[in-house]
Structure 1
């Protein structure tokens, strides 16, 4: 006995829609150049496989049953899906990747990423776009492990990584910031490590699953409140739940409005080199989606905006 998969073919769905449109088996048979008995047999096969009646035959007209109407509604979606797959396959054959995954570090400006996504999706590419939220070492690990094709906001040492290419986004400078109502806000500057160690720090959890995690600005023996990402860290420090270093580009608005206070510290200024990275491969090996993103990242204004610097001047 035929199964639903055997009978629910695009041709069968088209035939059922033709019967519904013409209102009779005889008219549908004429329109499809079939003898009525052959068309009736085809419909019976479908009904038997699904164990439902698709048409009410009690009158001279062939009227869809509720089950038949539902099948045609879903069938229209299936046919549209088949057409979409066919179009996607044709376009992928032109060099577009089926999916492009981008690991986005929490230091990266989300609005700029979304502007880039909007520009990419406006091309109506066959490539599905996927963003991964990562932090610190996890951003590079997502790329190295093959879970991402492009990583934004990578913190890399100066040693080249086998199989990876990188370009600089820029230098990210940090300031030590506290809430105006935090006890450290009233302590004379510069703050020593001994004084800072007496107060809870807010740290970001490294998203790396295996291997050595990375931390910035923490002191040995200091109480730590760990949060998921930079926006949460800013929020925690504004609330006075702890202190710590924040990227100037992210903290500046809160500093300007008085919600955070910058305190000079004795230790050297904190700064990191932020990069974007992707896996090696010749131009011919790169998909068109990755090529598009790499072209956008060549623009100094785009790189600066990704680090939250909106009024950049080169």
Structure 2
């Protein structure tokens, strides 16, 4: 192979330092070794890579093209070395964290900030899932850690969980201009069934999808996330339950009206869940932090 990583490092050093002699000092090598390596490469490629003027060396157009793309390879090789080193020390190359849509993602940011500040180097991939989709992400190896998995854990091996929040507070709300806004007293299920519900689609891919807040035969508008659900209800497109933290500002502004219904939404516990077969140091770090009372309160307070 004519072009090697070592040759790319030599070209990079010469370009940055401006001369063969300065690059040799930076690379702890003798100038003649660099001159020989570059001359050999120029001969094999049949191109001139540097324009020499006295002690100064400037890349030719061909040399600039080679080094521009070559630097991508140098960066990729350096990152690969770091990943291998991290894996050897027990730190995962990547940790995939799923957050259930009921938890505001910005509540995770202080935790991530502390993790990054510690300089562990593990890459974090943060995504949302809905309802059974959180458990499904673990079961199908799309996630390593789930924050806020709702309901019961499915019967799958290799998964572990612990309670994060015993209950979440939901508000049944309708738009101020919705026909149900003026309904006197408790609204029976038979009346709710006559009106469209706004629901978030379960994101399960293999496990059975879960549905909450829909009465049999009721029309439904399915939206992609919890904030879209809230805005759809404010727009009067349908009715449904919203987490208290999201409904409160709309209720205070008068854009939503809280109503009592005959069959309130049952309690929904939230869990911390993870893949337990191979726990790397990054996953262990998050599990330890998320066992702290203050951290749990910061995540689930007001839910």
Q: For the superposition of Structure 1 and Structure 2, which TM-score range results when normalised by the shorter chain?
A: 0.7 to 0.9
Alpha-carbon shift at residue 120 of structure 1 (Å)? 1.3
Q: Counterparts of 2:208 and 2:57 in 1: how far apart (Å)?
A: 69
RMSD: 3.0
1:109/1:307 contact within 8 Å kept: no
CA gap of 1:267–1:84, structure 2 versus 1, over 3 A, is closer
2:20/2:31 contact within 8 Å kept: no
**Bigger mean CA offset, 165-174 vs 60-69:** 60-69
Q: 2:291 aligns with which of 288, 291, 298?
A: 298
- Asked if 1:115 corresponds to 2:115, the answer is no
2:18/2:56 contact within 8 Å kept: no
For residues 147-202 of structure 1, what are the alpha-carbon distances to aligned partners after superposition, in whole Å with 9 as ceiling and x for unaligned? 11111121232776432211112111222101111111011120011111111110
Q: Counterparts of 1:68 and 1:101 in 2: how far apart (Å)?
A: 40
Aligned residue for 1:286?
279
For residues 250-273 of structure 1, what are the alpha-carbon distances to aligned partners after superposition, in whole Å with 9 as ceiling and x for unaligned? 322222232211100111443211
Q: 1:267 aligns with which of 244, 263, 269?
A: 263
Q: How many residues align?
A: 298
1:202/1:233 contact within 8 Å kept: yes
1:199/1:242 contact within 8 Å kept: yes
Q: Counterparts of 2:135 and 2:154 in 1: how far apart (Å)?
A: 14
Q: Counterparts of 1:181 and 1:71 in 2: how far apart (Å)?
A: 65
CA gap of 1:235–1:58, structure 2 versus 1, over 3 A, is same
- Asked if 1:71 corresponds to 2:75, the answer is no
For residues 20-31 of structure 1, the aligned pairs below 5 Å read 21=17, 23=19
For residues 70-129 of structure 1, what are the alpha-carbon distances to aligned partners after superposition, in whole Å with 9 as ceiling and x for unaligned? 433444554454344334422332210111101111111211112222221122222111
- Asked if 1:138 corresponds to 2:133, the answer is yes
1:17/1:72 contact within 8 Å kept: yes
- Asked if 1:250 corresponds to 2:246, the answer is yes
For structure 2, the 5+ residue unaligned runs are none
For structure 1, the 5+ residue unaligned runs are 1-5
Q: Counterparts of 1:163 and 1:271 in 2: how far apart (Å)?
A: 27
Aligned residue for 1:11?
6
Q: Counterparts of 1:105 and 1:191 in 2: how far apart (Å)?
A: 29
2:100/2:147 contact within 8 Å kept: yes
Q: Counterparts of 1:122 and 1:61 in 2: how far apart (Å)?
A: 41
For residues 175-214 of structure 1, the aligned pairs below 5 Å read 175-214=171-210
CA gap of 1:236–1:12, structure 2 versus 1, over 3 A, is same
CA gap of 1:191–1:51, structure 2 versus 1, over 3 A, is farther
| SS of equivalent to 2:124 | strand
